[in-house]
A and B are shown apart, each in its own frame.
Chain A
Amino acid sequence: MTFIPLFFAIPLAAAFIIPILGKIAKSVIWIFVTLVSFALFVLALYGTAVTQQFPMIVYKMGNWPPPLGIVMAFDSLSAFMVLVISILVFAGSIFSLRYISHYTGQWKFYTLYMLITAGMMGISITGDLFNMFVFLEIAAISSYALVAFGVGAEELEASFKYMVMGEVGGLTFLLSIALLYAKTSTLNLADMANVLQVVGQTPFFWLVLGMMLLAFSIKAAFVPFHSWLPDAHPAAPAPISSLLSGIFIKVLGMYTTARLVFNVFGLNRANAPVFFNVLIGIGLLSIAFAGITALSQKDYKRLLGYSSVSQVGYIMLGLGIGNYYGVAGAIFYILAHALGKGLLFLTSGSVVNATGTRDITKLAGLGEHMSTTAWSFRLGSLSLIGLPPLVGFFAKYLIILGALKAGFWWLAIVAIALSVLTLGYLLKIENNVFMKKGRTKASKAPFTMRIAMVFLVVLIVLLGIGFQQIIDFLVGPAANALLRGVEYANLVFGSVGVSF
């Protein structure tokens, strides 16, 4: 069974077929992209099913054994990330048909869309540090271009700012890889985990870890480094905002942090309590600061951008708590926020498409006219706020449960109190755009846009109702994959002989 490289080979191949299709048959591009996204979705479901049996599938690129060659290490966490990515990519590609039709050079959009997908997929499944950097740059560079896709003054400024910040992060990551390589003479994650156990927690160890944390904090937009996100995510076309806020910052920032901290550096709450308290601090700062800033925003998408910064803080909080419930909560939150925020950005695209403005003070009374959009927004925000039985509730519940089990009762109270901020800023949009009396001139959302939104709404409701299955089959194994720590290395080297 050799399906693992297909996760990035299919979107990469699609990305280079699209320019050729763009010259000969423009009309089939969208169908092609949607089919490819759907194929990735099916493949991700299959991958998730396979990881139920095999905790770790190692794929040797070119049949070179690790640590000599590059390996793809596909475990439950990778399967989970790949599944979430493919859901949002699929929804975004359906949504794009009508949204992108105003732009010129649509094939460029879809090429970049497939490249960003390939980059994110690659980061999630690679077992090699430098390979991770390469995929990270593929995804990041595509995202710079996609943010600037509108080529207006606002888009270009946002993209430039994002590119400068993003490259500071990317190059810091590269420098820390170079330092690690000099010390450990290996780039394979599993091999590096073994060597780092021998090196121990020296000042060098903490220097490199600090640099990586800095790099990923920039990529995930934690609060001192968040300033690019509220510019960049609103400037991008709506399906891209949905992809960037929904999953991109989590793959580039959170997944990489979690994978390296737990599985490669071998840290856990027991052997590095101070570091994990720092993670909690970063999380709380993001939740509070960005949440308060979001309250004063007037731009629909900019408000959602600040909301993303704030919500990602919860994921870091869960990782910082560091016990099973905290980590499982963080992983569940990745899913919940991806669906919720992805959906909210799609509704913003629907509103912008219908009215041509993002200023919520100028919009009014869209609730009756654009009922699908309005109800999608309502369900998405209720899930983000954490209302049972929607998917967001169970994610937040697990994090708070983790805080209580770890003895941080004050943290549980603060986390609940801060979620009032979420209610506050999302009600602001609801109140202004959908509930307020009056009537902005608007056309109904096109059919494909509604399909994409309803797809995510259905997932939010269904996954919320079936939360026990999600925890048992998706989130639990993924959390255990992180919490097994440097046992990861033994699994990778142990499963090399398996014929995957």
Chain B
Amino acid sequence: MKGMSLIVRTITTVMIGFIFVYGIYIILHGHLTPGGGFAGGVIVAGAFILRILAFGSEPGGEKKSEIRASIFESVGALLFIGIALAGMVVAGTFFLNFLPKGIAFNLYSAGIIPFCNIAIGIKVGAGLFSIFLALAAVKYVVKD
């Protein structure tokens, strides 16, 4: 895929870090503020998509990135199921919130919920990014 103009690339360079950090903030504060793993994951994926759109990628590069993204996607899903199964192993109930709950509205609170959010964030971010890459790769093939 071809990149875009110098203006777009420069603004992207400035903005991409902020977008990325904002996405991670949404994921990590999912148990306190609106948003969470899904919304944050979408924003993180947005940062990656923006990078590809602005700077482009070498021919066939989408395929390689997609393979990597799909590994991350599987890892996210496995983490989520792992957390659920950990509840079963530790305390005998699937999806039990077995970690200490802490003080409400503190960052370090809510037991397994932040970890679930992180797992969902990885899964959704990688998933959405690989959907984008799949569509981009298809367009590339059709152009050939």
Contacts and interface: CB of A to CB of B under 8 A. Distances in A.
30 contacts: A2-B93, A2-B94, A5-B88, A5-B94, A9-B85, A13-B81, A15-B77, A16-B74, A16-B75, A16-B78, A17-B74, A17-B78, A19-B70, A19-B71, A19-B73, A19-B74, A20-B74, A20-B75, A20-B78, A23-B67, A60-B93, A61-B94, A61-B95, A62-B93, A62-B94, A62-B95, A62-B96, A62-B97, A63-B91, A63-B96
A19 B130 CA distance: 13
Contact of B85 (A13, A20, A23, A60): A13
Contacts of A60: 93
Nearest to A23: B71
A344 B73 CA distance: 37
A9 B84 contact: yes
A42 B71 CA distance: 30
A12 interface: yes
Interface of A: 2, 5, 9, 12-13, 15-17, 19-20, 23, 59-63
Contacts of B87: 62
A59 B92 CA distance: 11
Contacts of B73: 19
A500 to B, nearest CB: 10
Given A62-B87, A62-B93, 9 more contacts: A2-B88, A2-B93, A12-B81, A13-B78, A17-B78, A19-B70, A23-B71, A62-B94, A62-B96
Interface of A is mostly: helix
Interface string B1-22: 0000000000000000000000
Interface in B68-121: 70-71, 73-75, 77-78, 81-82, 84-85, 87-88, 91-97
Nearest to B93: A63
A61 B77 CA distance: 18
A5 B84 CA distance: 10
B94 A9 contact: yes
Contacts of B82: 13
Contacts of B74: 16-17, 19-20
A12 B96 CA distance: 18
A397 B71 CA distance: 51
A59 B94 contact: yes
Contacts of B93: 2, 60-63
Interface of B: 67, 70-71, 73-75, 77-78, 81-82, 84-85, 87-88, 91-97
A322 to B, nearest CB: 36
A62 B98 CA distance: 9
Nearest to A19: B74
Across the A-B interface, the 6 shortest Cβ-Cβ residue pairs: A5-B94, A62-B95, A16-B77, A19-B74, A16-B74, A63-B93
B9 to A, nearest CB: 32
Contacts of A17: 74, 78
Contacts of A16: 74-75, 77-78, 81
A474 to B, nearest CB: 26
A200 to B, nearest CB: 36
B71 A9 contact: no
A293 to B, nearest CB: 37
A2 to B, nearest CB: 6
Contacts of A2: 88, 92-94
Among B75, B91, B93, B97, residue most surrounded by chain A Cβ atoms (within 10 Å) = B93
Among A2, A16, A60, A61, residue most surrounded by chain B Cβ atoms (within 10 Å) = A16
B71 A20 contact: yes
A62 B70 CA distance: 29
A417 to B, nearest CB: 50
A19 B77 CA distance: 11
Contacts of B92: 2
A59 B87 CA distance: 14
A62 B83 CA distance: 11
Contacts of A63: 91, 93, 96
Nearest to B79: A16
Contacts of A23: 67, 71
Contacts of B81: 9, 12-13, 16
Contacts of A12: 77, 81
Nearest to A12: B81
B131 to A, nearest CB: 13
A13 B85 CA distance: 10
A20 B70 CA distance: 9
A63 B97 CA distance: 9
Contacts of B75: 16, 20
Contacts of A15: 77
A61 to B, nearest CB: 5
B118 to A, nearest CB: 16
A475 to B, nearest CB: 29
B86 to A, nearest CB: 12
A25 to B, nearest CB: 14
A221 to B, nearest CB: 30
A20 B67 CA distance: 10
B57 to A, nearest CB: 20
A249 to B, nearest CB: 27
B127 to A, nearest CB: 11
Contacts of A59: 94
